[in-house]
Structure formats: structure tokens, C-alpha cells
Amino acid sequence: MSMSALPSKINAFIRFWHILYKMSRSVQQQHSEPNDHPMPKPSTIHDQRYQKAIQTIINARKKAGLSQSDLAQLVGFTQPDISKIERLERRLDITECIDILNAISSGEKDFFNKIWNSIHECHYR
């Protein structure tokens, strides 16, 4: 992957996370009463959108022909780390997610759009 493509991928990914955050805030505000205390924000690991994002990443990893061990080696994790992420036992932070997505995207131009569309469909069903 060329270095010039990396900043545009990172910018796209940051926009993607910003939109997810705004969507979650919007849903939270819709479900709270004006005089209520703000609802505690549920853990992202239990959020349907997060689970869908992880499932999309799993599918992409498999489609790329990468085992959990292969992916772990590419991004500097252990295989059990990848397993825990995929079983929703360990939360994936944004920088780790960028590393994983770059490793499994193989420079695919619309990779982030595919993930976004998958999550967006889940949110608006």
C-alpha cells in the first residue's frame, strides 16, 4: 500500500467513527425524557452496530484467506487477542481497528464503505 493512500484511508475511518458516535448520541437522546437524567451509555461491546462491525471484519478476514494467527502476526497481536476480539470479549480500540482494517483490506478501495454500509443497514432496520 502506498503511503499516499494511507492518510485518505485513515481520514475515511475517522469520519466513519465520528458518524457512528453521532448516531449513538442521536439514539440516546431520542430515548431519554426531557426531565430524565441522561441514560448511562451502554458498553460499546454490547451495541448491535459494534457487533455488526466485528462480524464484518471477521468475514473480511476470512475472505482475505487470513487465519486469526496470520492477522495477529500482521498487526502485532497474539492469536488469542484476535479470538477475544472476534468473540466480543475484548474491545477493539480505534487505532487497533485501523491496523486490522489496513491488514485485511489489501488496498481495496471501497473496503471502509462496505463496513459502513453493513453497519448502517443494521442501525436503520
Instruction: Check pLDDT > 80 for residue 49.
Output: yes
For the chain, the average pLDDT equals 78
Cell of residue 36, nine digits: 430524565
Residues 18-36, mean pLDDT to the nearest whole number: 62
The reply to whether CATH 3.40.50.10320 applies to domain 5-30+44-123 is no
Residues 6 or more apart in contact with residue 69 via CB below 8 angstroms: 79, 82
Q: Are 13 and 112 in contact (CB under 8 A)?
A: yes
Q: If we measure between CA atoms, which residue out of 50, 70, 56 comes closest to residue 111?
A: 56
Residues 61-71, mean pLDDT to the nearest whole number: 94
Q: Are 124 and 23 in contact (CB under 8 A)?
A: no
pLDDT band for position 114 (cuts 50, 70, 90): confident
Q: Are 57 and 104 in contact (CB under 8 A)?
A: yes
| pLDDT score of 27 | 57
Residues 84-93, mean pLDDT to the nearest whole number: 93
Cell of residue 116, nine digits: 459502513
Q: pTM here?
A: 0.62
The domain segmentation of the chain, as residue ranges, is: 5-30+44-123
Percentage of residues in the chain having pLDDT higher than 90? 29
Task: Please report the beta strands in the chain, taking only residues with DSSP state E, as ranges in sequence order.
Answer: none
